[in-house]
Structure 1
């Protein structure tokens, strides 16, 4: 079982029989309902912009990212810290590419 840096958070394994539409809806909901407002804004805005067109392999990477702690995700996305090598992929680059300041205005 993979352990994530999210204390107290237990998530079921990915259901390989879940339709892509349901998966996108579930990931969008999880993106907007994180627990801290900063993560909600960053991940929810990202989900609104990119999830609909993401291929399955990128959805896998994004879903794995969502299992990490909000504080780590916010730091990696904003550039306060570099993400671990295994998270420094095209999905992280997309997360970092959004101008979140424009979203807040």
Structure 2
């Protein structure tokens, strides 16, 4: 049974936080969510870079890698692209093997 709580400031109902957190998702659902977020960034360039990387590498990720990528996707596209292309140094919290693999750009299709 789901319990509901009321927020006293405006009276709206809210689900308990634990039921909204990604930890309650199974691996398949979580990967589907990350796939959608990777391919719907806002610009075609970001979609190809981030979504393409996700498609090429996500099958081998551990739960810790998915945790990292989830946090990574919260950043702005211009920052992610700059870090991935090496234009700007990535902050320490994003210096991770997943970003290092993204820098190889071996997943971006190139027309000849």
Name the TM-score, length of structure 1 as normaliser.
0.81
> Post-superposition shift, 1:98?
2.5
Q: Give runs of ≥4 in structure 1 deviating > 3 Å.
A: none
How does 1:32-47 map onto structure 2 within 5 Å?
32-47=39-54
Residue of structure 2 in register with 1:82 after alignment: 89
Structure number with larger C-alpha Rg: 2
Aligned residues: 93
Tell me, which stretches of 5 or more residues in structure 2 are unaligned? 1-16
Q: More relative contact order in 1 or in 2 (CA 8 Å, sep 6+)?
A: 1
Aligned CA-pair RMSD: 1.7
Residue of structure 2 in register with 1:99 after alignment: 106
Deviation readout 1:36-62 (Å, 9 max, x if unpaired): 111101101111111122110000001
